[in-house]
């Protein structure tokens, strides 16, 4: 996100919550290291996250996409099927395809925009190996029901928690409720280092495999811990390590995560109050049972026919409103996989009616008042 991008809108959609701490940490990483991954800041980031989220293994990655690719490479084999929502980012389906498996798209819930557990069981075949859930906007999926289905059919669960850093389900951090969790530190995310992510798991075997894949197919991680004298090529791998400079920034963000979550929650509460009077015209975001959201996204829905016009009207007032995911199943690639428009009606309805409004910790009450006033005028 360039300063030109931030300057384009009076009220941007996202704004990283960065301060002097992140600047100092990045500079220190540059002065004391070479910027390559798995130096002291990356190590500290992994330790801090492991402690905060009560999880055993954390591998910082150079994107959330990389974490998803690691998860799929660890758990899947050629010919497997993975059930996932179509209302998500391309990275989810790509990660599945890159590991030789097939994405099977599932419809979402009309209120939470998360995978609909009632639809999952209908899609299970003898080839199904895993369910990949996405906690959209940082609102938890129905993990209890999903875990029961996974147990019944002996499936892995992968959580795409790119939106969900700091959010909880029944007191447990999202990303830690399944076999593998994947976070993103993309510049738009709640904890941001520009680009970046993390793979987290309590599974020793998955972590060991992920360490090798993440380090170009070598046992370098083990060598770095002093467990062997040399490192060498031991398997097929990729280059997915996060630079120590970005780890330094991510570390400061994780330290601020509670503050970030609290400020976003306060803003969302205020926004909900302000927009309540429009509730006959727009659908406000919902809360789900047991979920402590982190308000990564504040999404409303309006009738299909006015959605694009409302977005462009908001933009003309300097408010960076935006649509969200074009469903994967009806994309060019989705069609190549045999899907067509009409296959997942709830997903299509949500995708055609949703508008993301600006949401970040620094968003001022006066700015939310302004957005609410403009919305009232244009819907």
Ligand X SMILES: Cc1ncc(COP(=O)(O)O)c(C=O)c1O
For ligand X, the binding residues (CB under 6 A) are 63-65, 88-89, 91-92, 134, 160, 162-163, 184, 186, 197
Give the nearest distance from C-beta 163 to ligand X in angstroms.
6
For residues 192 and 314, which CB has a smaller minimum distance to ligand X in the complex?
Answer: 192
Tokens of 28: 């220190």
For residues 131 and 372, which CB has a smaller minimum distance to ligand X in the complex?
Answer: 131
For residues 198 and 302, which CB has a smaller minimum distance to ligand X in the complex?
Answer: 198
Nearest to 91 by CA among 193, 186, 219, 210: 186
For residues 219 and 261, which CB has a smaller minimum distance to ligand X in the complex?
Answer: 261
Phi and psi at 175, nearest 5°, equal 100, -15
Give the nearest distance from C-beta 95 to ligand X in angstroms.
9
Tokens of 83: 């059930």
The β-bridge partners of 298 are 357
Q: Where are the alpha helices (DSSP H) in the chain?
A: 3-8, 20-32, 40-52, 64-75, 90-98, 117-120, 143-153, 204-214, 220-224, 244-255, 257-275, 304-316, 332-336, 345-353, 365-378
Give the nearest distance from C-beta 293 to ligand X in angstroms.
15
For residues 129 and 163, which CB has a smaller minimum distance to ligand X in the complex?
Answer: 163
For residues 86 and 184, which CB has a smaller minimum distance to ligand X in the complex?
Answer: 184
Give the nearest distance from C-beta 364 to ligand X in angstroms.
25
DSSP string, 361-373: TT--HHHHHHHHH
For residues 42 and 375, which CB has a smaller minimum distance to ligand X in the complex?
Answer: 42
Which residue, judged by CB position, is nearest to ligand X in the bound state? 64
Tokens of 190: 């709640």
Give the nearest distance from C-beta 348 to ligand X in angstroms.
18
Residue 19, helix vs strand vs coil:
coil
C-alpha span between 65 and 83 (Å, rounded): 17
If you count DSSP H runs as helices and E runs as strands, how many of each does the chain have, helices first?
15, 12
Residues 235/15, Cβ–Cβ less than 8 Å: no
Give the nearest distance from C-beta 344 to ligand X in angstroms.
17
Please report how many Cα atoms fall inside a 13 Å half-sphere around the Cα of residue 196, on the Cβ side.
27
Give the nearest distance from C-beta 137 to ligand X in angstroms.
10
């Amino acid at each position: 996100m360039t300063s030109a991008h931030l300057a384009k809108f009076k009220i941007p959609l996202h704004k990283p919550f960065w301060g002097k701490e992140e600047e100092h940490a990045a500079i220190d990483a540059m002065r004391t290291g070479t910027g390559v991954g798995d130096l002291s800041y990356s190590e500290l980031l992994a330790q801090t996250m492991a402690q905060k989220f009560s999880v055993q293994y954390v591998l910082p990655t150079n994107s959330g996409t990389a974490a998803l690719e690691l998860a799929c490479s660890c758990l899947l084999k050629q010919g497997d099927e993975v059930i996932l929502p179509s209302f998500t980012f391309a990275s989810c389906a790509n990660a599945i395809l890159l590991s030789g498996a097939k994405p099977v798209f599932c419809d979402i819930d009309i209120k939470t925009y998360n995978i609909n557990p009632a639809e999952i069981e209908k899609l299970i075949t003898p080839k199904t190996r895993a369910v990949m859930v996405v906690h959209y906007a940082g609102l938890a999926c129905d993990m209890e029901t999903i875990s029961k289905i996974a147990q019944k059919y002996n499936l892995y669960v992968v959580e795409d928690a790119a939106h969900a850093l700091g959010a909880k389900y029944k007191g447990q951090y999202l990303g830690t409720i399944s076999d593998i969790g994947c976070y993103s530190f993309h510049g738009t995310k709640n904890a941001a280092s520009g680009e970046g992510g993390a793979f987290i798991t309590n599974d020793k075997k998955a972590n060991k495999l992920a360490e090798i894949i993440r380090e170009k197919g070598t046992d370098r991680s083990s060598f770095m811990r002093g467990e062997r004298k040399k490192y060498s090529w031991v398997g097929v791998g990729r280059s997915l390590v996060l630079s120590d400079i970005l780890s330094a920034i991510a570390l400061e963000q994780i330290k601020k995560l509670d503050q970030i979550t609290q400020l976003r929650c306060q803003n969302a509460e205020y926004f909900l109050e302000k927009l309540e009077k429009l509730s006959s015209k727009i659908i406000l975001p919902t809360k789900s049972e047991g979920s402590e959201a982190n308000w990564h996204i504040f999404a409303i829905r309006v009738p299909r026919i006015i959605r694009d016009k409302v977005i462009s009207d908001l933009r003309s007032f300097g408010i960076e409103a935006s649509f969200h995911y074009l469903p994967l199943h009806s994309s060019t690639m989705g069609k190549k996989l045999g899907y067509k428009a009409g296959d997942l009606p709830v997903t299509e309805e949500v995708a055609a009616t949703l508008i993301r409004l600006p949401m970040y910790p620094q968003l001022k009450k006066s700015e939310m008042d302004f957005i609410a006033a403009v919305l009232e005028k244009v819907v």
